[in-house]
């Protein structure tokens, strides 16, 4: 697998970094609708890159038969703009942003048509943060530096949770026909 490039966006998209999706060997490449987009929100570019490296290398992610892409935002404003422009089932957000925090992003994300599963990342991940994050509606907390196995477990679980939750909302609204086959 190969990372193609990281493109820093400027102008209207300032404050955002986009990392191209992973490529699989010929014949095993997934289609466009199988790409799972993750938004990494952190003032530290190394966090975006670390998430990308983990998703690129881990066999548990590749075994799921999906391509993952990582987009980065270094500010709350950049993250909100990116979330409004695209569909991100999973968002990994640094605990503290300047200005703002993960709580501000969580509040704004609730207004999106398909709210993402938000994961809080922090070097100070403790029981207090975990309890607060879960009580306020975040999906989980990841300790930094990232542990590859934990990142894969949490991101895949968050994506599955988002998918089930989104389909449930669509069915409740009557906009999706669901057939159950055996």
* pLDDT above 60 (res 32): no
CATH (residue range 6-173):
3.40.50.2300
Max Cα-Cα span within the chain: 51
Across the chain, the runs of DSSP E, i.e. the strands, are 6-8, 16-19, 35-41, 67-73, 90-94, 117-122, 140-143
Tell me the per-residue pLDDT of 88-145, one tens digit each, with 9 for 90 and over: 999 999 999 988 999 999 999 999 988 999 999 999 989 999 999 999 999 999 999 9
The answer to whether residues 90 and 140 touch, using CB atoms and an 8 Å cutoff, is no
Q: How far apart are CA 27 and CA 61, in angstroms?
A: 18
For tokens 């086959």, the residue is: 181
Residue that is written with structure tokens 């820093």 in the block: 8
| Structure token pair of residue 88 | 């991100």
Give the C-alpha separation, 92 to 82, whole Å. Answer: 13
For residue 50 the two structure tokens come to 């670390």
Structure tokens at 105: 């992003």
The DSSP H or E segment spanning 47 is helix 45-57
166 has a pLDDT exceeding 90: no
> What angle do helix axes 102-109 and 76-85 make, rounded to 10 degrees?
20
The distance in angstroms from the start CA to the end CA of the chain is 35
pLDDT score for 67: 79
Distance between CA 141 and CA 125 in Å, rounded?
7
User: What pLDDT is recorded for position 30?
Assistant: 38
Instruction: Evaluate if residue 173 carries a pLDDT over 50.
Output: no
Burial class (CB in 10 A: 0-12, 13-18, 19+), 9: middle
Domain ranges of the chain: 6-173
pLDDT digit string (tens) for 45-82? Answer: 999 999 999 988 766 665 556 678 899 999 999 999 99
**Size of the chain in residues:** 182
């Amino acid at each position: 697998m190969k990372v193609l490039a990281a493109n820093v966006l400027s102008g209207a998209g300032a404050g955002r970094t986009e990392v191209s999706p992973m490529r699989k060997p010929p014949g095993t490449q997934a289609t466009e609708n199988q790409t799972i987009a993750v938004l990494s929100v952190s003032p530290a570019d190394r966090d975006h890159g670390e998430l990308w490296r983990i998703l690129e290398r881990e066999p548990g992610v590749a075994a799921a038969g999906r391509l993952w892409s990582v987009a980065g935002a270094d500010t709350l404003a950049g993250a909100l703009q990116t979330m409004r422009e695209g569909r991100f089932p999973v968002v990994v957000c640094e605990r503290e942003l300047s200005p703002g925090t993960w709580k501000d992003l969580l509040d704004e994300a609730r207004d999106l048509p398909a709210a993402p599963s938000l994961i809080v990342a922090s070097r100070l991940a403790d029981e207090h943060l975990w309890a607060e994050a879960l009580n306020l509606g975040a999906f989980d907390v990841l300790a930094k530096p990232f542990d590859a196995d934990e990142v894969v477990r949490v991101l895949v679980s968050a994506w599955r949770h988002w998918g089930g939750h989104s389909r449930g909302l669509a069915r409740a609204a009557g906009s999706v026909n669901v057939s159950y086959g055996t």
